[in-house]
A and B are shown apart, each in its own frame.
Chain A
Amino acid sequence: MIKTILGFPALLLFATASQAAWEVNLPRGVTEVSREIYDLHMTIFWICVAIGVVVFGVMLWSVIYHRKSRGAKAHNFHENVLVEIAWTVVPFIILIAMAVPATATLIKMYDNTEAELDIQITGYQWKWRYQYLGEEIDFFSSLSTPRDQINNAAVKGEHYLLEVDNPLVIPAGKKVRFLLTANDVIHSWWVPDLAVKKDAIPGFINEAWTIVNEPGVYRGQCAELCGKDHGFMPIVVEVKAQADFDAWLAEVKQADQDKAAEAQKSWTLAELMETGEEVYNKACLACHQANGEGIPGVFPGLKNSPIALGDPGPHIDVVLNGKQGTAMQAFRDQLTAVELAAVITYERNAWGNKVGDLVTPAQIAELKE
């Protein structure tokens, strides 16, 4: 027993050394503001430690040296104005002393002026949308951890649940302003290394900013309980040197053009089914489930659903425009014409649905105009 107790702290130490990712303290982060917040946090932490030592020290000392068994007699008095004033004034002074550096940091954190790049971030159930204002860049970022890892059917990867298909990319050394809002419920965009944690609220726009000097990859999560897959909408920020960032911009724009062109070529049923399954697994599976049967009472099944088996018109409509007031969102902007056509075709021909028809990307591209 004694051995176990002694062994425990040693084990903790070992765990800290061996697992660098395991941290109890606030991370120092990689921006000037995050370091300032860290220093502030440590200053206040040590002030609290000092107060704790003094208060508990006096208490313990009294308990030990003035205990009844030593013959101590309680001193019965009612008021002592001097002492009462002292124990009110001292905490007041300590609080003011802590407020001075805290205010300086807060003012810096809230200074959203003079940004060189504005990015609108919108929270969706359960993914993020990044729109680079002034650039024609607009994409969704969703979890890319394979379902097998989540279901314990495969070994979990290094960045389990902290990896996405399209990371947010920002230039190093530039002030980037984030404008945060949400499409459905309240989310919160949180990247600890950047010391940015801001609620994304439908109908409101919150602002935050960062300047990251070191190129690198920084990961975060949604920090506001937002429904079933709240834990499955991570954030990945890739900071690139300016030249690399410019190259990335050009690449994304080119890819968007290619996608538009792709919609115009002709697709076979097999091709659409293959793409459709990928899209379904990424964008629809969370609610309608892998077997297409949904979750009764919450998310309708698509297997044998009259919409999926009936005329394509209403089916296309519900996927493109969603259903107001339900969790079924509009996928019009989230997916490309090819992806939309593919996923709709997939739903009409998977899990024993056998409509046999095919919704073409060109048809969807026209509707998306």
Chain B
Amino acid sequence: MKAPKENRESPGLWSMLLSVLAAFFGVQTQRNYQRDFASGRFWPYAVLGIVMALSFVGLVYLLVALVLAQ
């Protein structure tokens, strides 16, 4: 089943990525916040969030391995 095509354009991948990053950081501008909630869909953000959380874990893991290797 296909969702009916929305009449407005949803944010592109890059701006969604930036929004998720902003959420990780904890600071977001009111303008982007309005845009995301008005025209974004839930799942792409959730998936991006999970992927980035996992990458963060991987990054910390790598960093520790790097520090311990010295």
Contact surface of A with B, Cβ cutoff 8 Å: 78-79, 81, 84-85, 88, 103, 107
**B4 within 8 Å of A (CB atoms):** no
Min CB–CB distance A92 → chain B (angstroms): 9
Contacts of B68 in A (CB 8 A): 107
- Nearest to B28 among chain A residues (CB) is A81
Contacts of A103 in B (CB 8 A): 67
Min CB–CB distance A93 → chain B (angstroms): 14
Min CB–CB distance B43 → chain A (angstroms): 27
A103-B60 Cα distance, complex, nearest whole Å? 14
Contacts of A88 in B (CB 8 A): 25-27
14 contacts between A and B (CB under 8 A): A78-B30, A79-B29, A79-B30, A81-B27, A81-B29, A84-B27, A85-B25, A85-B27, A88-B25, A88-B26, A88-B27, A103-B67, A107-B67, A107-B68
Q: Is the interface of A mostly helix, strand, loop or mixed?
A: helix
- How many residue pairs, one in A and one in B, have C-beta atoms under 8 Å apart? 14
Within residues 18 to 66 of chain B, which ones have a CB less than 8 A from any CB in chain A?
25-27, 29-30
Q: Which 4 A-B pairs have the closest CB atoms?
A: A84-B27, A81-B29, A79-B30, A85-B27
- Nearest to B64 among chain A residues (CB) is A103
Contacts of A79 in B (CB 8 A): 29-30
Min CB–CB distance A100 → chain B (angstroms): 9
A88-B27 Cα distance, complex, nearest whole Å? 9
A78-B33 Cα distance, complex, nearest whole Å? 14
Contacts of A81 in B (CB 8 A): 27, 29
Min CB–CB distance A70 → chain B (angstroms): 32
A88-B21 Cα distance, complex, nearest whole Å? 14
